[in-house]
Amino acid sequence: MAKDLALAEAKDKNFVFSPFSIQLALSLVANGAKGATLKQFLTFLEADNVDQLNAVATNFLKSLITKTGGPTLSFVGGVWVDKSLPLNPKFKAIAENAYNAIAADNVDFQNKMKAKEVVDEMNTRVEKDSNGLINSILDEDDLNADTRLLLVNTLYFKTSWRKPFDRSCTHDLTFYLLDGSCVEVPFMSSIKTQFISTFDDYKVLRLPYQNRRHTDSSAPSMYIILPHERDGLSSLADRILKPDEWLQISKVQHKSFIEVNEEGTEAGASIRFDYPLGGFIEPPHQVDFVADHPFMFIIRDDSSGMILFMGQVSNPLL
């Protein structure tokens, strides 16, 4: 999924999405699937059964959202089933208890007024829970006579860097675009020792977020993955991201937003990527990390390995 987005949908654009948010949405939908469809879900999500999916969701949401002294993070969702279909009480309980759903109810999607109420309720909740970063996820036209199931979730993340950047060190420098042109944009700078790992075609900078817990490994981090070549973003995505088998779902609507500044990061997403990012060391020699051309980024909970957000920056001015 990540590879398809990077190489096709957002090849020359900025984009961000939340694998965590999408994984939980698919995991919940899997609870209502049977037979070959369920097998597809389990294969795609790399799980043996739905109980495993539900346990992962419950444990991760509980551990991440209840952390103290760490990031501000909230996650809520909702699921609505057309009244023509029975809502299994077990599915309702799982949605509310394991996936933090604010609602798991039947609704008459054929009734435009009832459908509008659902749209208004979810958009209001999405805007509130994303701290205004995402003001809507649904339009009235998204629901029609063929709608049978609607599932929405929202993830909000805000925290500060463990080592904040000095605003006085932020200066305009040249950023080289994929088409060969360039733009002048503000660059955050730091001469502090950082966590960097270098590879044949790229290098990775790890920027830990603030954490007042006992170990640094329990804090989320942002990883900036910078190709050595200025036009190396496509080949980087092709090399790093594994191809996935697609599941057929009628429509997926996913919105994300991220803001990074000298103090930290604020991000929101409404709706598994395995990469060996561990083993970072503070190198004994100086390594310059200048992100002056398109790069990928990941926000990862280092204690669990869960990818909260990932994306790419092709033009910082967009």
The pLDDT > 70 percentage for the chain reads: 76
pLDDT at residue number 64: 67
Higher-confidence position of 203 and 264: 203
Which whole number is the average pLDDT over 127-132?
79
pLDDT at residue number 275: 25
Which of 99-108, 111-120, 179-188, 268-277: highest mean pLDDT? 179-188
Mean of all residue pLDDT scores within the chain: 78
Question: Does 11 have pLDDT greater than 80?
Answer: no
Which of 17-26, 137-146, 159-168, 222-231: highest mean pLDDT? 222-231
Residues 201-230: tens digit of each pLDDT: 999 989 888 875 545 556 788 899 999 999
pLDDT at residue number 112: 87
Residues 79-99: tens digit of each pLDDT: 888 888 888 999 999 999 998
pLDDT at residue number 208: 87
The pLDDT > 90 percentage for the chain reads: 19
Instruction: Quote the distance between the C-alpha of residue 83 and its chain's center.
Output: 32
pLDDT at residue number 230: 93
Q: Is 104 helix (H, G, I), strand (E, B) or coil?
A: strand
pLDDT at residue number 175: 94
Tokens of 149: 């199931």
Which whole number is the average pLDDT over 268-276?
37
Tokens of 184: 């002048």
Give residue 272's pLDDT band: very low, low, confident or very high (50, 70, 90): very low
Which whole number is the average pLDDT over 142-171?
83
76-101 per-residue burial string, b: 16 or more CB within 10 A, e: under 16 = bbbbbbbeeeebeeebbebbbebbbb
Q: What are the φ and ψ backbone dihedral angles of 308, each rounded to 5 degrees?
A: -80, -45
Higher-confidence position of 174 and 265: 174
Q: Which domains does the chain have, with CATH numbers?
A: 14-159 (3.30.497.10), 162-252+266-313 (2.30.39.10)
Tokens of 224: 């900036």
Residues 31-54: tens digit of each pLDDT: 988 999 999 999 989 999 999 999
Which of 137-146, 253-262, 264-273: highest mean pLDDT? 137-146
User: Looking at the DSSP assignment, which residues form a beta bridge with residue 307?
Assistant: 300
Tokens of 216: 């640094």
Tokens of 45: 């999500």
Contact 220, 304 (CB under 8 A): no
Closest CA to 154 of 128, 179, 178, 176: 128
Question: Does 55 have pLDDT greater than 90?
Answer: yes
Give residue 65's pLDDT band: very low, low, confident or very high (50, 70, 90): low
Residues 109-126: tens digit of each pLDDT: 888 888 888 888 888 887
In angstroms, rounded to a whole number, what is the distance separating the alpha carbons of residues 294 and 237? Answer: 11
Q: Is 87 left (phi over 0), alpha (psi -120 to 50) or beta?
A: beta
Instruction: Quote the distance between the C-alpha of residue 3 and its chain's center.
Output: 14
